[in-house]
Structure 1
Amino acid sequence: MGITLLRAADHRRMPWKNGGGETTEIAVFPPHAGLSDFDWRISMAKVASDGPFSIFPEIDRTLCILDGNGLGLSIEGQGCIHLNTPSAPLSFPADIPVHARLTDGPITDLNVMTRRGRFTHTVRRVDVEHPMTMPVRGTPAVILCHHGAIRLDDETQAAQLASLDCLLIDNAVEKPLRLSGPGRIFVIEIFQGP
């Protein structure tokens, strides 16, 4: 199992696909893939105005609100769904029309995307209040420190994450990690196959 520490200061900033804002790319596969040819991508975006989401053909997406007062998403075929920081991660196709309306000021979101038919993913939010052990699966798995200070270790390696730092774990497959905080993390697990 390989572990790579991805510091917040090193995340790559780039324009949205539709040019409507800026996205901060945390990790992408294949490495250096663009917005039209990735198999999976993890990013954050600041949404400062109402408007449409970018369309990504054959991509599935999960969205979480990291900061701000939330937004309403009008998703074709699903109606309007309101998301805020306590909301569960929301999964929906990235190749259907979606329009965002801010609730009260800008928000920052976490966006996980995988290419349909090649990869799938799960996203969960975990509050780390006391030392705990957590199994992590996925090829790979990514741990994002939302806020606080999180220490993670297994039998051989340890890492300390500050706000918006990430840990990329190759071939996690049922790997138990020990965590201590306090803080909040998002656990992103990516799986090959439909």
Structure 2
Amino acid sequence: MTLRLIHLTSKDYREMPWKNGGGSTTEIAIYPETASLNEPFLWRLSLAQLKESGPFSSFPGYDRSIVQLSGKPMTLKHDGHADKRLEPLVPYPFDGEWKTESVLSERAEDFNLMTLSTAFEARLDRFDLALDKELKKESQDHTIIWVFDGEVEWKTSADKKILNTGDTLILEMARGLIYTLEAKSEQAIVFVAKLKVKGKPSVKAKDPLAGVTLEKLLTELVNHYGWEYLGEKIPVNCFLKDPSIKSSLTFLRKTPWARTKVEKLYIGYLEKK
């Protein structure tokens, strides 16, 4: 399979209730994209607002990494395992099956990575690009870059993107890709998750876009919904003014964020068929 880049911003994220009903989370991304917390998934990235102390949802079979982003350091109390007082902006990995409770002295926000234990070896690291200025790294099978603060340029020998605070860049099928992260602001802090595939994942993650060309999915969407609907969902000129498959394909191939939105519309269309 070929490299796939997905650039997400805060407008692409979605709010959803906690699995245990005790709060809400901002889901940044989940893989496969059609998965949910009610069924097996391979990995998930999210933000959570914690208003008070309370239990964490249990995720048997998953590895978790948590980073406290704001608030006085909380303590995670693990039943049968040592407690852990979190350090600000320092990733802490633990077993998703552990019975865990957070103890807070004030409101806090955290960043979470969950990966299926049988599918990936996962590592989450923090990099302060204001200190390093430029960082050269090698990508894993899946690499996820999330900008906590600042402006960062991601680049390879063939491509580059500007990432702002809160943006996420997902690199799929990217093992061995050499890339550079460079600070474009005084302060630039990023978190990088590297997911190495462990043989065959035990969750069947069939890619709904596999074997589907951009022209095919766009044509199906237009035939089913019409140009007006596409213009409402993605208000860009190629859908609103003199739309055509040819001009739209040219635009989408040059505009990753719009292409990602069209692909998500197509996945939703397939789910309803």
Both structures adopt the same fold (TM-score exceeding 0.5): yes
The separation in 2 between residues aligned to 1:146 and 1:136, in whole angstroms, is: 20
Classify the secondary structure of the residue corresponding to 2:83. Answer: strand
2:19 pairs with 1:17: yes
1:48 to 36, 46, 51: 51
> Counterpart of 1:172?
174
> Is the 1:68–1:84 contact (alpha carbons within 8 Å) kept by the matching residues of 2?
no
State the AA in 1 paired with 2:100: V
> Counterpart of 2:5?
3
Measured after TM superposition, the shift of residue 159 of structure 1 is 1.2
5 Å-filtered alignment, 1:71-150, equals 71-86=74-89, 88-103=90-105, 105-129=106-130, 130-150=132-152
CA RMSD of aligned residues (A): 1.5
The separation in 1 between residues aligned to 2:92 and 2:48, in whole angstroms, is: 15
Q: In the TM superposition, what whole-angstrom CA distance separates every residue of 1:122-172 from its partner, at most 9, and x where no partner exists?
A: 100000025423213222111000001111111122111111111011122
> Counterpart of 1:189?
194
> Is the 1:8–1:163 contact (alpha carbons within 8 Å) kept by the matching residues of 2?
no
The separation in 2 between residues aligned to 1:144 and 1:41, in whole angstroms, is: 13
The separation in 1 between residues aligned to 2:138 and 2:68, in whole angstroms, is: 22
> Is the 1:137–1:175 contact (alpha carbons within 8 Å) kept by the matching residues of 2?
yes
2:51 pairs with 1:65: no
Q: Percent identity?
A: 29
> Is the 1:17–1:54 contact (alpha carbons within 8 Å) kept by the matching residues of 2?
yes
Where is the helix percentage greater, Structure 1 or Structure 2?
A: 2
Rg larger in structure: 2
Where is the strand percentage greater, Structure 1 or Structure 2?
A: 1
State the AA in 2 paired with 1:185: V
Measured after TM superposition, the shift of residue 2 of structure 1 is 2.3
> Is the 1:3–1:169 contact (alpha carbons within 8 Å) kept by the matching residues of 2?
yes
State the AA in 1 paired with 2:70: D
